[in-house]
Structure 1
Amino acid sequence: MKFTFVHNNINVLDLEKSVDFYKKALGLVETRKKEASDGSFILIFLGDETTPHKLELTWLRDRTEPYDLGDNEIHIAFTTDDYEAAHALHKEMGCICYENEAMGIYFIEDPDGYWIEILPEKR
């Protein structure tokens, strides 16, 4: 028996703001969109155009309060082929929330408070 990663899901409060963030910060592109016939939810799948793995953003019409992420330290991680340029972009965007220079990594925070780890492609 074999299992293959397909996607990770996060719920977002402002879908347009989140899609814009992931496009600008990480270069992700929309690969698929599904809207409920009653308008109760929208799913947008984002991809990196390199791997088959997707990030699914879920927007729920009736959700008005920010999501409580609690003490959850789950995160998504990305490598980049130009760590210095990525760091400069994220610094300009004001989304760097934690840096560990000794490990050569940093984290950015999306509009809903989810953390994304950024690593150089070759370490």
Structure 2
Amino acid sequence: MSFHGESHPGIAPTPVETQGFRFNHTMLRIKDPARALAFYSRVLGMQVMRRLDFDEMSFSLYFLAHVEESHAVPEDVAARTAWTFSQTGILELTHNWGTEDDADFAYHDGNAEPQGFGHICISVPNLEAAQAWFDAHDATFIKRADQGKMKDVIFIKDPDGYWIEVVQADRMAGKGD
């Protein structure tokens, strides 16, 4: 029998009409695409799958993913766009043009008051190696793996102040109830 999710108050049976639905991406607004793309590509190893510009509305979208050699990413732009929107775990960075030129401009990170959005999460194969990598690349730590009440979890910040949780999957097995 296949897993059908945990049961909690408010959970309804999965409607057959939602078969094939999948979570595609999360969007973060960024001030400076050069800084943000440098961080996500150099520090977190993500690749830009597609950039979409909307001249009439003065913004650009950058869709990033961790791509493995086994992924057959289309070279053709239209096919790659469709492929991007069919994936799971994509990060969309939205740049409203001109924000990078305003020294006082900043987006709310969701963790300062009033709290709202919390963080995104990246899973890594080796937490200690990842922490050393972040140190070597001057990442801003909120919490290291050996700090706080929840051990084996790292939090770093991206250039816009958004929090990124970093976990090693097998170390999460014993967390919580």
TM-score by length of 2: 0.63
Q: CA deviation at 1:99?
A: 2.7
Larger Rg: 2
**Identity among equivalent pairs (%):** 29
After superposing the two structures, state which structure 1 stretch, 27-36 or 61-70, moved more: 61-70
Cα RMSD after superposing both structures: 1.9
- Matched with 2:120 is 76
Are the equivalent residues in 2 in contact too, given 1:39–1:61 (CA < 8 A)?
no
- Matched with 1:67 is 107
Q: CA deviation at 1:25?
A: 1.7
Q: For 1:60 and 1:45, how far apart are their aligned partners in 2?
A: 15
- Matched ranges for 1:1-123 at <5 A: 1-2=17-18, 3-38=21-56, 40-50=58-68, 52-63=88-99, 64=102, 65-69=105-109, 70=112, 71-72=115-116, 74-92=118-136, 93-101=138-146, 102-123=150-171
Q: CA deviation at 1:103?
A: 2.4
SS state at 2:43 partner: helix
Greater share of residues in strand:
1
Q: CA deviation at 1:39?
A: 7.0
TM-score by length of 1: 0.88
Structure 2 residue ranges without an equivalent (≥5): 1-16, 69-86, 172-177
* AA in 1 matched with 2:116: N
Are the equivalent residues in 2 in contact too, given 1:76–1:115 (CA < 8 A)?
yes
- Greater relative contact order (CA < 8 Å, ≥ 6 in sequence): 1
Greater share of residues in helix:
2
After superposing the two structures, state which structure 1 stretch, 96-105 or 3-12, moved more: 96-105
